[in-house]
Chain A
Amino acid sequence: MPIQTHRSEDGQTLTIKIEGRFDFSTHQAFRDAYEHGDENVTAFVVDLSDTTYLDSSALGMLLLLRDYAGGDSAKIRIENCNSDVRRILSISNFEQLFAIR
């Protein structure tokens, strides 16, 4: 699977890891990854360490996750981006919406 999830030990943080291309083809899998979690999850980590490419529909999916997680009060960290991915995120100024590390 190009998308894997795991929960932190306290069960409050859900990490979603995307392998390869993060684009429209991963749409359903990405949604499934967070929508079927239980209510204890209060924070999300999107791990992009194995993501090679990210397009504008992936940006849209991140916004969907943000909306799902509470909009302006959402706690979402985007981690381990490679430089290409990082660049796309910063062109779109997503630092203003997400904690990107």
Chain B
Amino acid sequence: MLQYTIRRLIGMIPIIFLISVVVFTLAKLMPGDALSGKIDPLNSDPEYIEEMREQMGLNDPIPVQYVRWMSGVVQGDFGDSFVHKRPVMELIGDRLPNTIILGISALLITYLLAFLMGRYSGRFAYSIGDYLISAFNYLALAIPSFVAALVAIYVFAINLGWVPASGSIGSGVEAGTLEYYLSKAKHTVLPAIVLGAMATAAYTQFLRNDMIESSRKDYVRTARAKGTKESAIYNKHILRNSIIPIVTLLGFDIANLFGGAIITETIFTYPGIGYLFVESVNSRDYSVMMAIAMMLTILTLIGNLVADLLYGLVDPRIRLS
């Protein structure tokens, strides 16, 4: 297995390289740069813009710019953000904790709901409850996340006033106090629910279908024949087998976890990676944009590897070689 992992990791290198070329080319193909937004007689003049373009090397040939960028990246230096005037890694480091908190909360909500709904649907397949659950799942899948976010904010934050509508922390709380953590939780709960509850469809249906399939298997018939209680059959024997595919999905979620939710974070003004990404695309802050894109690429590749490894771990029938 170790050998397999190493082989996979080495295999990633050319893929990462190719993706870096694509990411860089696409970024440079976008019209404008970080200085286009500075066209404003109040704040700057054309000489300044020219001077900065020259200084940042934006006038160099694209391959030269690519080599300069890549040689930094190999050494772990993603450069400075022009817009924020800070090293990109610091900037991402600042936003990452918010995104991870939101990502984990959302994932927990998804798993919990999907587990409960999938278990019910699998056991009582083709019942009214099952249909209601499918209806909910597909509806949630179909509603665009910005609509869901706006409706949730309107109902729970603005009309009912249960939770704040935006931000990741309230004003007037001191870091490290209990109040601080409560405020943080209060600010995270609504975006987490919007993110988590709307994404249950895949997991629920996976679990449901696997349970239905398992319930027709020989070992289940044997258990029934032995007179094992129905609830024990489902909760012990079937569920345990059917959870396996769900667990492996965890690997694919890693990239999502760090990538943040672009639309949800933006609407909730939740300062995470997704928000930063949108912001930097809009302001053509190349270094930030490319660093996030590269980070997500690598995490997706690692996530796939983890998914494969997990599969081998939980399912003894699969051998990695």
- Do A and B pair up? The answer is no
Residues in chain A within 8 A of chain B (CB atoms): none
